[in-house]
A and B are shown apart, each in its own frame.
Chain A
Amino acid sequence: MTPARVERPNSLDDLSKALAEAHRQGLACIPVGGGTRLAAGNTPERYDVAIDLAGMSSMIDHVPGDLTAVVDAGVRIQRLQEILATSGQRLPFEIAHPHKATVGGALASNPLNLTGILFGSIRDWVLGMKVVLADGTTTKTGGRVVKNVQGYDLHRLHTGAFGTLGVIAEVALKLLPIPDTTRTVAAWFASSQDAAVAAKTILDSPIEPEALTILAGPEAQPGTLGAAQPKDGIAGSTAALLARLAGGPAAVSRQVDMVTGAAGAAAADGYEIIYPQEAEPLWAIARGESFDPNGLTARITVKPSAIPNLLEEIEKRGAAGLTKPPSYAAHPGFGAAIVNWPLAKDQDARDAARFAFTMAERHRGHAVIETCPAAIKPEIDVFGTIGPSLEIMKRMKQQFDPARILSPGRFAGRI
Chain B
Amino acid sequence: MSPATKSKSRSAANAKPPLIRDLERVIDPRFVIWRPEDLLVYEYDGSIDRSIPAAVTVPGSAEETAAAVRIAKRHGVPVVPRGAGTGLSGGAVPLRGSLVVAMTRLNRILEINAENKIALVEPGVVNVELSNAAAEYDLYYAPDPSSQKACTIGGNVAENAGGPHCLAYGVTTNHVLGLEVVLADGSITWLGSDMREAPGYDLRGAFIGSEGTLGIATKIAVRLLKTPEAVQTMLAAFRSLDDASQAVSDVIASGIVPAALEMMDRTTIDACETVYRPGYPPDAQAVLIVEVDGLAETVAEQSAKIETLCTGNNASEIRRAQDPQQRADLWATRKGAIGAMGTLAPNYYLVDGVVPRTKLRDALAKVMEIGAELNLKIANVFHAGDGNLHPCILFDERDPAQVRRVIECGERILEMCAEAGGALSGEHGIGIEKQAYMPLVFTEADTQAMSRLRPAFGAEESFNPGKVFPGGAVHGETYGVKETGFHRTGTADVI
Contact = CB atoms under 8 A, between A and B. Distances in A.
Interface stretch (B16-24, B75-83, B248-256, B280-288): B248-256
A152 B252 contact: no
B209 interface: yes
Given A335-B116, A389-B200, A147 B427 contact: yes
B290 to A, nearest CB: 16
Interface stretch (A6-14, A97-105, A225-233, A297-305): A297-305
A248 B446 contact: no
Interface stretch (B364-372, B453-461, B480-488): B453-461
A149 interface: yes
B295 A140 contact: no
B136 to A, nearest CB: 15
Interface of B: 113, 115-118, 159-160, 162, 166-167, 170-171, 173-174, 183, 187, 189-191, 193-206, 208-210, 226, 228-229, 249, 252-253, 255-257, 294-295, 297-298, 300-302, 354-358, 383, 386-388, 421-430, 434, 438, 441-443, 445-450, 452-453, 455-458, 468
Contacts of A388: 187, 189-190
A150 interface: yes
A344 interface: no
Interface string A245-279: 00110110011000000000000000000000000
A366 B195 contact: yes
24 contacts: A66-B357, A110-B197, A121-B196, A139-B445, A141-B450, A143-B354, A144-B356, A144-B421, A147-B383, A148-B425, A151-B447, A152-B453, A157-B206, A161-B202, A179-B255, A248-B297, A248-B302, A335-B116, A386-B199, A389-B190, A389-B203, A395-B456, A396-B456, A399-B455
- Highest count of chain B CB atoms <10 Å: which of A65, A147, A336, A398: A147
B423 A156 contact: no
Contacts of A176: 257
A368 to B, nearest CB: 6
Given A149-B162, A177-B257, A336-B197, 18 more contacts: A68-B356, A137-B448, A140-B443, A140-B446, A141-B450, A145-B355, A145-B387, A145-B426, A146-B387, A149-B426, A151-B442, A156-B204, A157-B206, A165-B201, A176-B257, A207-B295, A250-B301, A412-B199
A65 B54 CA distance: 50
Contact of B190 (A383, A387, A413): A387
B253 A383 contact: no
A346 B206 CA distance: 38
Contacts of A248: 297-298, 301-302
A151 B360 CA distance: 23
Nearest to A146: B386
A154 B449 CA distance: 8
A120 B173 CA distance: 11
Chain A's interface size range is 35 or more
A305 B118 CA distance: 11
Given A145-B421, A148-B426, A156-B205, A124 B174 contact: yes
Nearest to B162: A147
Nearest to A145: B354
B449 A141 contact: yes
- Highest count of chain B CB atoms <10 Å: which of A116, A166, A177, A413: A177
Contacts of A411: 200
B295 A247 contact: yes
A370 B200 CA distance: 14
A151 B386 contact: no
Interface string A386-413: 1111101101101110000000000111
A254 B298 CA distance: 11
- Highest count of chain A CB atoms <10 Å: which of B166, B191, B196, B202: B196
Contacts of A383: 199-200
A126 to B, nearest CB: 9
Given A153-B208, A335-B116, A335-B196, A145 B255 contact: no
B201 A161 contact: yes
Contacts of A152: 206, 209-210, 450, 453, 468
A151 B468 contact: yes
A60 interface: no
A408 to B, nearest CB: 15
Given A153-B173, A154-B206, A384-B199, A141 B387 contact: no
Nearest to B300: A250
Contact of A366 (B193, B295, B455): B193
Contact of A177 (B200, B206, B255, B468): B255
A206 interface: yes
Contacts of A387: 189-190
A392 B452 CA distance: 12
| A-B interface, 5 closest residue pairs, ranked by CB to CB distance from nearest | A156-B205, A177-B255, A147-B426, A250-B297, A399-B452
Interface string A64-84: 111110000000000000000
A300 to B, nearest CB: 10
Contacts of A303: 113, 116, 118, 194-195
B133 to A, nearest CB: 19
A157 B183 CA distance: 18
Contact of B423 (A121, A147, A154): A147
A141 B298 CA distance: 36
Contacts of A255: 295
Given A66-B356, A145-B422, A412-B199, A392 B294 contact: no
A64 B446 contact: no
A279 B391 CA distance: 48
A389 to B, nearest CB: 5
A218 interface: no
A254 B295 contact: yes
Contacts of A399: 452-453, 455-456
A396 B210 contact: no
A292 interface: no
Contact of A400 (B117, B199, B452): B452
- Highest count of chain A CB atoms <10 Å: which of B383, B442, B446, B448: B446
B430 A157 contact: no
B205 to A, nearest CB: 3
Given A147-B354, A150-B423, A366-B193, A178 B199 contact: no
B453 A156 contact: no
A153 B170 CA distance: 15
B438 A147 contact: no
A280 interface: no
Contacts of A223: none
A279 B167 CA distance: 30
Contacts of A165: 201
Contact of A301 (B197, B354, B355, B383): B197
Given A124-B170, A146-B386, A366 B426 contact: no
B208 A147 contact: no
A44 interface: no
Nearest to A151: B450
Contact of A64 (B195, B226, B253, B302): B253
Contacts of A389: 189-191, 200, 203
B295 A150 contact: no
B446 A141 contact: yes
B195 A151 contact: no
Nearest to B443: A140
